[in-house]
Amino acid sequence: MEYTNLGRTGVRVSRLCLGTMNFGPVTEEPDAHAIMDSAHGHGINFFDTANVYGWGENRGRTEEILGNWFSTGGGRREKTVLATKVYGSMGDWPNQDKLSALNIRRACEASLRRLRTDYIDLYQFHHVDRSTPWEEIWQACEVLVSQGKVLYFGSSNFAGWHIADAQAKAAQRHFLGLVSEQSIYNLARREVELEVLPACEHYGLGVIPWSPLQSGLLGGVLRKQREGKRRVSGQAAARLDAIRDQLGAYEDFCERLGQEPAEIALAWLLHQPAVTAPIIGPRTAEQLDGALHALEIALSTDELSELDKIFPGYRTAPEHYAW
């Protein structure tokens, strides 16, 4: 396993991050425990979750599954750089969502209970809160750090200017501020290259891409459809129709390389200089093993250029659209 620093911090994380969103809704707890054990066995030390995972009436269930796994001992918690999130609604009563100081305090305490731990390594804002000033957010975060309940803070789904604003307010308080940003980023969704990635590089934030396979579309969906192994519906079907020709060229490219499309998609992200660790969300141990192969794939300059031709990206703003 390869490791890298999380942004400008001294903490080192694996180049793949284990996403746990499927734990509970899709993957039963014993299988989730087996996947996490296998992840540790392969050297993955970076796990990502959120307080709302489990969804609906089962919000918090995923954190409970991780907490139960940590409680079995064996150094599981100590070996894990644990990331969770706050923002999403955890109930129908006021102040059970977003980033007020009140909700940050209550949500953190609740996550700690479900996770059966006394601290969170990386506490992430799941979305920007346009109704709460950064002075209030950072004050609440400073308290959590002083109490030893959180070590680092990160953002998710932020625009570039949100990151700049957050860091400016943190600097005024002599506070570390954000150390990571979790954004949708993959071959088919490269909008963050305009301003988010440049902001992250400027301020020293690690980038943690979610949906690296674009809801499975970059995982060989056309071939799987031909083989009768995959059905696509809803928004994914509309997106598939919009980029069908690109996906066909992409799958042909992967076939020429003799590699699985899902693994090439992950390998491409690992070649991007701003990326710390793509989030993989295996539903089974077999899917985890496949994702690990991406670490062994070295794409040449010509191969990266060919991928750029299939899925054109963005130059840094404003040069992308101006001089």
- Vertex 11: Cα angle to 100 and 172 (nearest 5): 45
Can 53 be counted among the known catalytic residues?
Answer: yes
Cis before 282 (ω within 30): no
Range with the lowest mean pLDDT among 144-153, 174-183, 235-244? 235-244
Confidence of residue 248 (pLDDT cuts 50, 70, 90): very high
Average pLDDT over residues 291-310: 96
Confidence of residue 183 (pLDDT cuts 50, 70, 90): very high
pLDDT at 171 over 90: yes
Model pLDDT, residue 44: 98
pLDDT at 233 over 80: no
Average pLDDT over residues 223-239: 82
Model pLDDT, residue 226: 87
Question: Strand, helix or coil at 320?
Answer: coil
pLDDT tens, position by position, 50-83: 999 999 999 999 999 999 999 999 999 999 999 9
Q: Could you tell me the two tokens for 112?
A: 């700690």
pLDDT at 235 over 90: no
Per DSSP, what are the bridge partners of residue 275? 207
pLDDT at 200 over 90: yes
CB 90 within 8 A of CB 96: yes
pLDDT at 237 over 90: no
Q: Is 186 left (phi over 0), alpha (psi -120 to 50) or beta?
A: beta
Model pLDDT, residue 62: 98
Pairing of strands 81-86, 46-48: parallel
Model pLDDT, residue 289: 87
Please name which of 98, 103, 35 lies closest in space to residue 289, comparing C-alpha atoms. Answer: 35
* 38 Cβ contact list (under 8 Å, min separation 6): 285, 288, 289
**Dihedral angle over CA of 281, 207, 143, 87, nearest 10:** -50
Model pLDDT, residue 228: 81
Q: How many CB atoms lie within 10 A of CB 109?
A: 12
CB 232 within 8 A of CB 240: yes
Model's pTM, two decimal places?
Answer: 0.96
Average pLDDT over residues 295-321: 97
pLDDT at 232 over 80: no
CA 44 from centre of chain: 14
Catalytic site residue from 3, 53, 119, 203: 53
Q: What percent of the chain has pLDDT over 90?
A: 91
Domains of the chain: 3-215+261-299 (3.20.20.100)
Q: What share of the chain is helix, strand, coil (3-state, %, to 5)?
A: 45, 15, 40
Mean pLDDT of the chain, nearest integer: 96
CA 251 from centre of chain: 24
Model pLDDT, residue 90: 97
Model pLDDT, residue 229: 74
Model pLDDT, residue 153: 98
Q: Which carries the bigger pLDDT value, residue 230 or residue 131? A: 131
First to last CA, the chain: 42
Per DSSP, what are the bridge partners of residue 78? none
Q: How many CB atoms lie within 10 A of CB 127?
A: 18
